[in-house]
Structure 1
């Protein structure tokens, strides 16, 4: 499974993210262990208070575990991977929490450890944690016979469409799939032979070349968002300079934004709205089906939980009845039979707990399989929408005659832009 780890602070923000039921269809706080608190916000606040007695600023170690698409990973297997992480990083005796998220027919886990050792009042050192988690990730793929991602086979074979969290967040604000954005920018770069060809290719996709404030070479998109070319193209400043020339001769971001603002027209807005309005009608029944499915799945889980609670009470009552009362109970203590019965009860309780967890996992896998079928329809429709939006924007910026553009510029300057596009979270 893919494992991503980070040292961090700001436990309140992390707790909000882990408990976010808006962006996740199901959020399950599986375990809070080693803290005095029994909930995430208070547990992370407890970790922060410990850190105040040390020089440690990033007092939390947060790790996410994402299995390959289509693989059914049990709760026990997740816990095993989390336990291995703790052993590798020297966090075995540290307080931690485990949270499960389900979204878009996929299930993944988050584990967060407090780095502060309360006995020595020092932070547990985590050297090379990214490399160690990458090795653990690879070992889990091999152990479970999952198909290895190309990035594990060789660094040079990494997917060129991979992007960092910061790139994802930036693209998410723009309501454009970041993979499409990165592919468009990289195609412009690799297919251009000189500066003019590069600028033309960028323009055809709605971007303008500019001189950045902190980064020498940037692209400004049709909404005014500034993208670092060295980051999105994965090239160094030296290569950009050889192809594009000295950045000081490029227009400033402010100049480019001013020109782009003039070129944004009501026609572009109208085309955008028409496409989104069309897809909104196609998304609506899927969204309704998704909400009904989540409600039904939640009911099924609650029903199973109630049945298991009732059975646990009956089984607990039966185990308690195994202990004799009165003189016979005293005799069992004297002869040691009480300990034998207590050990047997504990073994039966453990078997009962494992059986119930397996039943919950089975229900979750069944529901995820059903949700996956619906998610496939969502993904296909969203991909189609993104493709239509991208093709429309490219067509607008590449095929309008100059006199038409000039006319639309005057029209736009007289009528402010009010872009209220419709978006769907799937």
Structure 2
């Protein structure tokens, strides 16, 4: 189970994100602990009110729990994982919220703790929490028998195509597949040994090297989206400087964007628009089926949860009716009958609670299996569409590169810049020599009695 966490503030924004249905097909508030309210937004307002009495700027500890693809994880499994994390981080007595999200046929959880110790009114220091969570994550993989990612076994074996949330968001803004972008840039980096080779390889993939404003060297695609070369190629900034020592001679991002825009004909703009629309729009039949399934699953859960709630009320009334009242109640205390009835009620309540959870998990598992079959078709469609996008990007980039006559190549640009600097240095030397010659001529023939010349 992949565990990602961070300290953060802005509780209201986090509550809105956890309950948002924009990117999720189903959202379920599973548990609230340590709050007066049973509403997530109101509960987080309580956290903000408590944190306002301290100097802590990030009173929340937010975490996501992502099982491996294809793994069936029950509510109890998530709860046990959260309990283990609490013990590891010493957050047992802190207020906590647990929310389930379902998206693309997969289920994951979000857990949020308050860092504020209400007795001491101080924020708990979350030192070395990443290392601690890595230990818990490894244990969960081993206990459940899941295939552990190689990067957890050996850090040097991490998948180079893994991307961060920031990289995923940037790819989504440019309507492209982040894995394909990262694979293309990394392939260009590995197969090139110099600046010109890297520049040519990137242009074949639809990227143009440029001098970034803050990131040193960036790659600009035909949509004029900039990608940090060091980040997307998975190397350090020092390696980029060594590979491209003459980065100062690269065209700026603004010049590169202007050039691409000037070479973009109406026909090419139409192609890009079609690609963008094609990426956003799934196959109508698959999308219709997905939307219908989402609505049907929501109705099924609503009906099932209502049925379980009604049955729970009836069972509670049945257990309450067993308790003797009046004089018989007093006598049952003396004889010990009341104690036996209470024990029986507690056992039945526990079995009913476990049964209800099992039925809910069974419904969710069945729906996830059904949704996963649709997701397989969606995944194949997206892969095909992504390949088409990359091919069109290459064709557009090739056209733009052929029209790139007004921007000199890197070698010519560097040569011309070096020649200009040499001429300026030569003029500077000539000026200095002339000034020294005039100074010698003014002082020549001057007697000792004439004093200094001012």
Residue ranges of structure 1 left out of the alignment (5+ in a row): 407-426
* Residue 209 of structure 1: aligned partner: 209
Q: Distance in 2 between matches of 1:76 and 1:204?
A: 51
* Residue 369 of structure 1: aligned partner: 369
Question: For structure 1, which segment, 244-253 or 59-68, has the greater mean C-alpha deviation from structure 2 after superposition?
Answer: 244-253
Q: Distance in 1 between matches of 2:223 and 2:272?
A: 13
Q: Distance in 2 between matches of 1:245 and 1:343?
A: 78
The 1:366–1:151 alpha-carbon spacing in structure 2 relative to 1, beyond 3 Å, is same
What is the SS of the residue equivalent to 1:375? Answer: helix
- Give the alignment of 1:137-216 within 5 angstroms: 137-216=137-216
2:316 is equivalent to residue 316 of structure 1 = yes
Deviation at 1:137, TM superposition (A): 0.7
Deviation at 1:263, TM superposition (A): 2.3
* Residue 38 of structure 1: aligned partner: 38
* Residue 326 of structure 1: aligned partner: 326
Aligned length: 406
The 1:22–1:238 alpha-carbon spacing in structure 2 relative to 1, beyond 3 Å, is closer
Greater RCO, CA 8 A, separation 6+:
1
Could you list the per-position Cα deviations for residues 204-238 of structure 1 after superposition, in whole angstroms to 9, with x for gaps in the alignment? Answer: 22222112222221122222222211211122233
* Residue 411 of structure 2: aligned partner: none
* Residue 26 of structure 1: aligned partner: 26
The 1:274–1:257 alpha-carbon spacing in structure 2 relative to 1, beyond 3 Å, is closer
* Residue 417 of structure 1: aligned partner: none
2:298 is equivalent to residue 298 of structure 1 = yes
What is the SS of the residue equivalent to 1:176? Answer: coil
The 1:348–1:401 alpha-carbon spacing in structure 2 relative to 1, beyond 3 Å, is closer
Q: Distance in 2 between matches of 1:182 and 1:390?
A: 12
What is the SS of the residue equivalent to 1:93? Answer: coil
* Residue 424 of structure 1: aligned partner: none
- Give the alignment of 1:124-135 within 5 angstroms: 124-135=124-135
Q: Distance in 2 between matches of 1:259 and 1:278?
A: 26
Cα RMSD over matched residues? 2.0
* Residue 245 of structure 2: aligned partner: 245
The 1:289–1:405 alpha-carbon spacing in structure 2 relative to 1, beyond 3 Å, is farther
The 1:373–1:244 alpha-carbon spacing in structure 2 relative to 1, beyond 3 Å, is same
Question: For structure 1, which segment, 89-98 or 322-331, has the greater mean C-alpha deviation from structure 2 after superposition?
Answer: 322-331
Residue ranges of structure 2 left out of the alignment (5+ in a row): 407-454
* Residue 256 of structure 1: aligned partner: 256
- CA contact under 8 A between 1:106 and 1:368: conserved in structure 2? yes
- Give the alignment of 1:259-278 within 5 angstroms: 259-274=259-274
Deviation at 1:29, TM superposition (A): 0.3
Question: For structure 1, which segment, 5-14 or 334-343, has the greater mean C-alpha deviation from structure 2 after superposition?
Answer: 334-343
Larger radius of gyration: 2
Q: Distance in 2 between matches of 1:376 and 1:254?
A: 41
- CA contact under 8 A between 2:207 and 2:397: conserved in structure 1? no
* Residue 227 of structure 2: aligned partner: 227
The 1:393–1:405 alpha-carbon spacing in structure 2 relative to 1, beyond 3 Å, is farther
The 1:96–1:399 alpha-carbon spacing in structure 2 relative to 1, beyond 3 Å, is same
